Structure 1
Amino acid sequence: MSRGRVLVAMSGGVDSSVVASLLVEQGYECVGATMRLATNEDDRPGERTCCSTDDVADARQACWDAGIRHHVFDYTEAFERDVIDPFVTAYEAGLTPNPCVACNRHLKFGALLDRALKLGCGFLATGHYARVEHDGRGYHLLKGVDAGKDQSYFLFGLTQQRLAHVLFPLGGLHKNPEVRAIAERLGLTSAHKRDSEGICFVPGGNHLRFIEQRTGRVAPAGDILDTDGNVIGRHEGALRYTLGQRKGLGVACARPVYVCAIDTVANTVTLGGPERLMARSLVARDWNWVAGAAPEVRLRAAAKVRYHQPDQPCVATPLPDGRVRLEFDDAQRAITPGQAAVLYDGDEVLGGGTIESVE
Structure 2
Amino acid sequence: MRVLAAMSGGVDSAVAAARAVEAGHDVVGVHLALSRMPGTLRTGSRGCCTIEDSMDAQRAANIIGIPYYVWDFSERFKLDVVDDFIAEYSAGRTPNPCMRCNERIKFAALLEKALDLGFDAVCTGHYASIVTDADGNRELHRASAWAKDQSYVLGVLTADQLAHSMFPLGATPSKAEVRAEAAARKLSVANKPDSHDICFIPDGDTRGWLAEHVGAAEGDILDREGNRLGSHEGAHAYTVGQRKGLNIGYPSPDGRPRFVLEVRPKDNTVVVGPKEALDIAEIAGARFTWAGQAPASPETPFACEVQIRAHADPVPAVAQVRDGELVIRPDEPLNGVAPGQTAVVYVGTRVLGQTTIDRTVSAVPV
Give the TM interval when normalised to the shorter protein. Answer: over 0.9
What is the DSSP-based 3-state SS (H/G/I as helix, E as strand, rest coil) of the residue aligned with 1:33?
strand
Q: Is contact 1:23-1:30 (8 Å) kept?
A: yes
What is the DSSP-based 3-state SS (H/G/I as helix, E as strand, rest coil) of the residue aligned with 1:248?
coil
Deviations 1:269-303 (A, max 9, x none): 12211111011111122100123435412111111
Residues 43 and 69 (structure 1), Cα distance of their counterparts in 2 relative to 1, 3 Å cut: closer
CA distance in 1, matches of 2:348, 2:183: 33
Q: Is contact 2:129-2:143 (8 Å) kept?
A: yes
Name 1:197's counterpart in structure 2.
196
My pick for the range that moved more, 348-357 or 286-295, is: 286-295
The structural deviation recorded for 1:56 is 0.3
The structural deviation recorded for 1:144 is 0.9
Q: Is contact 1:303-1:343 (8 Å) kept?
A: yes
Percent identity at matched positions? 40
Provide structure 2 residue ranges, at least 5 long, that are not aligned to the other structure.
362-366
The structural deviation recorded for 1:24 is 1.7
The structural deviation recorded for 1:22 is 1.7
What is the DSSP-based 3-state SS (H/G/I as helix, E as strand, rest coil) of the residue aligned with 1:182?
helix
Q: Is contact 1:283-1:358 (8 Å) kept?
A: yes
What is the DSSP-based 3-state SS (H/G/I as helix, E as strand, rest coil) of the residue aligned with 2:332?
strand
Name 1:257's counterpart in structure 2.
258
Instruction: Letter of the 2:283 partner, please give it.
Output: L
Matched, 1:336 2:338: yes
Q: Is contact 1:153-1:342 (8 Å) kept?
A: yes
RMSD: 1.9
Name 1:21's counterpart in structure 2.
18
What is the DSSP-based 3-state SS (H/G/I as helix, E as strand, rest coil) of the residue aligned with 1:330?
coil
Name 1:317's counterpart in structure 2.
320
Q: Is contact 2:317-2:331 (8 Å) kept?
A: yes
What is the DSSP-based 3-state SS (H/G/I as helix, E as strand, rest coil) of the residue aligned with 2:146?
coil
Q: Is contact 1:317-1:325 (8 Å) kept?
A: yes
The structural deviation recorded for 1:41 is 4.3
CA distance in 1, matches of 2:77, 2:211: 19
Q: Is contact 2:42-2:48 (8 Å) kept?
A: no
Name 2:27's counterpart in structure 1.
30
Name 1:12's counterpart in structure 2.
9
My pick for the range that moved more, 60-69 or 131-140, is: 131-140
Instruction: Letter of the 2:338 partner, please give it.
Output: T
My pick for the range that moved more, 169-178 or 105-114, is: 169-178
TM-score of the aligned structures, taking structure 2 as reference length: 0.92
The structural deviation recorded for 1:128 is 0.5
CA distance in 2, matches of 1:329, 1:166: 33
Q: Is contact 1:303-1:342 (8 Å) kept?
A: yes
CA distance in 1, matches of 2:133, 2:228: 59
Deviations 1:221-267 (A, max 9, x none): 11222223222222121111110011222234221211111111121
Deviations 1:162-199 (A, max 9, x none): 11111100011134321111111111110010000011
Instruction: Letter of the 2:178 partner, please give it.
Output: V
Q: Is contact 1:38-1:50 (8 Å) kept?
A: no
Task: Count the aligned residue pairs.
Answer: 353
The structural deviation recorded for 1:44 is 11
Q: Is contact 1:40-1:53 (8 Å) kept?
A: no
Name 2:224's counterpart in structure 1.
227
CA distance in 1, matches of 2:97, 2:283: 20
Deviations 1:34-72 (A, max 9, x none): 111123443899896432100000000110110111111
Q: Pick one of 291, 302, 305 that aligns with 1:302.
A: 305
Q: Pick one of 101, 107, 112 that aligns with 2:99.
A: 101
CA distance in 2, matches of 1:356, 1:26: 42
CA distance in 1, matches of 2:198, 2:260: 22
Residues 45 and 279 (structure 1), Cα distance of their counterparts in 2 relative to 1, 3 Å cut: closer
CA distance in 2, matches of 1:332, 1:25: 44
Name 2:127's counterpart in structure 1.
129
Q: Is contact 2:127-2:143 (8 Å) kept?
A: yes
Name 1:176's counterpart in structure 2.
175
Q: Pick one of 339, 345, 348 that aligns with 2:347.
A: 345
Name 2:81's counterpart in structure 1.
83
CA distance in 1, matches of 2:269, 2:74: 34
What is the DSSP-based 3-state SS (H/G/I as helix, E as strand, rest coil) of the residue aligned with 1:179?
helix
Instruction: Letter of the 1:312 partner, please give it.
Output: V
Matched, 1:326 2:324: no
My pick for the range that moved more, 267-276 or 54-63, is: 267-276
The structural deviation recorded for 1:338 is 0.1
Q: Is contact 1:41-1:49 (8 Å) kept?
A: no
Q: Is contact 1:316-1:326 (8 Å) kept?
A: yes
CA distance in 2, matches of 1:173, 1:38: 31
Name 2:277's counterpart in structure 1.
276
The structural deviation recorded for 1:212 is 3.9
Q: Is contact 1:257-1:274 (8 Å) kept?
A: yes
Residues 178 and 37 (structure 1), Cα distance of their counterparts in 2 relative to 1, 3 Å cut: same
